[in-house]
Amino acid sequence: MKVACTVWLGAKGVKASDLSRFLLKEEQTAAYSVEIWKRFRKWGGVPTGITQNIKDLLASREIENIFENSDFILMLNQAAGDRQILAKQLNISPYQLSYVTNSGEGEGLLFYGTTIIPFKDKFDKNLKLYSLMTTKPEEVEKREKEMEAEKHEGN
């Protein structure tokens, strides 16, 4: 089984990013996180990490190992300081960096091994599929209210 470890960079509005930051802040939990990451990969698992700022992730040499051993990275809009760090760490060209510089929704870079793929995905917000997949709190709340209303209409 092929295993891909994922680090989501620049994720917005995701509460898990705060949890990752706290887990990686203390030496003991950071060391434990690295060990679990390595074991899960060895066992065929797909460990996933989310961070809004790469500086948080790379504050520790141990945690840097997680980043360096990640086969798959999805990178969204990045702050200037984070872009500089990432450009150096991942050998990103200035052209490729434009996809994570003041980028809009659905724009970024995908990394798989040594392959870097820029993307711009404009998903039609009028589609039912969009309403089912969105993670924007206000849109999720709207969807849940609509589903509740439909449920009551059906009774």
Say if residue 9's pLDDT is above 70: no
Cα–Cα dist 45/29, whole Å: 20
Say if residue 121's pLDDT is above 70: yes
Looking at residue 16, its pLDDT comes to 46
Q: Are residues 80 and 138 in the same domain?
A: no
Question: Could you tell me the CA-to-CA distances from 113 to 20, 67, 71, 80, 88 in Å, in that order?
Answer: 23, 12, 5, 24, 16
Using DSSP, state whether 115 is helix, strand or coil: strand
Inter-residue contact 9 to 41 (CB < 8 Å): no
Indicate which CATH number applies to the domain containing 54: 3.40.50.300
Average pLDDT over residues 4-22: 49
Say if residue 88's pLDDT is above 80: yes
Say if residue 2's pLDDT is above 70: no
Using a cut of 0.85, tell me whether the model's pTM lies above it. no
Instruction: Note the pLDDT tens digit of each residue in 52-69.
Output: 778 877 777 777 777 777
Average pLDDT over residues 123-140: 86
Inter-residue contact 81 to 97 (CB < 8 Å): no
Residue 115 lies in a domain: yes
Q: Which domain holds residue 88?
A: 6-122
Q: Are residues 95 and 149 in the same domain?
A: no
Query: In the chain, which ranges are E strands?
Result: 6-9, 48-51, 72-75, 107-112, 115-120
Q: Are residues 105 and 127 in the same domain?
A: no
